[in-house]
């Protein structure tokens, strides 16, 4: 799988991921203590929905486009939608903020964000995107290596987003290894991991690895917009959350079924939440 995000910005996978991400950051910032945030696969930070890539795929129209245009939206989606509207002044939908920009806009003076990207050009664009935010810094290089270098953080409170592009056939295995390393170094951290649902067996293997590693409070939230057997392409995606059920469960159990209905592209659209390990 080669997940070139310019084609997919604002699609159903982004909606699921970013609803969870905004819920977590808002919850963690209810405490005044400093917060460290690590985004391991950040991308350029902002996507132009008028670009040839976005217009060719049109995926955002069946993702965020359906949400912003809906008559009624659950309160659980409000933090996410507020962030989207802040990026699109004037009421239109011309830009989609990636996770590093969403996070940077939430930084308080005592917080800091390190956003990583392996590709030099993407890291350069990301640095320009995050320049206005003094608490944000870009690290050009391997996000998995950053896990070893930066965890545990001196703040002792942290949110780690692992959102790989799945450009390599070994990505699920690499992801599982990095998550084990991160959790070993920083077991009290909050982790949010995104993964595609094109290979059910690979996703199940990741879940099994989390259980075998002894990680506490692991929960999955998965959204299918159609039956994966009905047509090719990515019919769904999931987020795996560690140490986050207290913040996410109630929100995702409200938001998830709504997203499955609102973003459905055919029969088989559904949302599921499953606890892998207890707190």
Site of tokens 């950053």: 146
The domains located in the chain, with CATH, are 5-277 (3.40.50.150)
Residue 58: its pLDDT value, please?
77
Q: pLDDT value at position 3?
A: 44
**Residues of the chain predicted below pLDDT 50:** 1-3
pLDDT at 133: 97
Rounded-to-integer distance, Cα 155 and Cα 144, Å? 20
Q: How does DSSP classify residue 23?
A: H
Is residue 163 flagged as an active site residue?
yes
Q: Which of 163, 209, 227, 249 is catalytic?
A: 163
Q: Give the per-residue pLDDT at 109.
A: 98
Within a 10 A sphere around the Cβ of 202, how many other Cβ atoms? 19
Note the maximum CA span of the chain. Answer: 49
DSSP states of 119-171: SHHHHHHHHHHHTT-TTEEEEES-HHHHHHHH-S-TTS-EEEEE-----STTH
Q: What is the mean pLDDT of the chain?
A: 93
Q: What is the pLDDT of residues 93-110, one digit of tens each?
A: 889 999 999 999 999 999
pLDDT of residue 74: 94
Count of CB atoms situated within 10 Å of the CB of 53? 16
Closest CA to 100 of 78, 128, 74: 128
What was the pLDDT predicted at 136? 98
Q: Are 257 and 271 in contact (CB under 8 A)?
A: yes
């Amino acid at each position: 799988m080669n997940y070139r995000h310019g084609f997919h910005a604002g699609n159903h996978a982004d909606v699921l991921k970013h609803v969870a991400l905004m819920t977590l950051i808002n919850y963690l910032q209810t405490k005044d203590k400093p917060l460290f945030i690590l985004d391991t696969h950040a991308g350029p930070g902002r996507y132009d929905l008028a670009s040839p890539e976005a217009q060719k795929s049109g995926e955002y129209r069946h993702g965020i486009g359906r949400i912003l245009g809906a008559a009624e939206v659950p309160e659980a989606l409000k933090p996410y939608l507020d962030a989207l509207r802040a990026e699109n002044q004037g009421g239109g939908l011309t830009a989609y903020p990636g996770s590093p920009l969403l996070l940077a806009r939430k930084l308080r003076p005592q917080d800091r964000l390190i956003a990583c990207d392996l590709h030099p050009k993407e890291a350069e664009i990301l640095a320009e995107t995050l320049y206005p935010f003094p608490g944000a810094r870009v690290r050009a290089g391997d996000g998995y290596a950053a896990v070893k270098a930066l965890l545990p953080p001196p703040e002792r409170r942290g949110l780690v987003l692992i959102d790989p592009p799945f450009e390599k056939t070994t990505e699920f295995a690499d992801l599982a290894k990095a998550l084990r390393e991160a959790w070993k170094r920083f077991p009290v951290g909050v982790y949010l991991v995104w993964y595609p649902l094109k290979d059910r067996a690979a996703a199940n293997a990741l879940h099994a690895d989390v259980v075998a590693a002894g990680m506490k409070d692991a929960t999955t939230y998965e959204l299918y917009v159609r039956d994966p057997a009905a047509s090719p392409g990515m019919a769904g995606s999931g987020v795996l959350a560690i140490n986050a059920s207290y913040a996410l469960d109630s929100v995702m159990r409200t938001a998830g079924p709504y997203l499955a209905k609102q973003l459905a592209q055919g029969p088989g659209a559904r949302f599921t939440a499953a606890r892998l390990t207890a707190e």
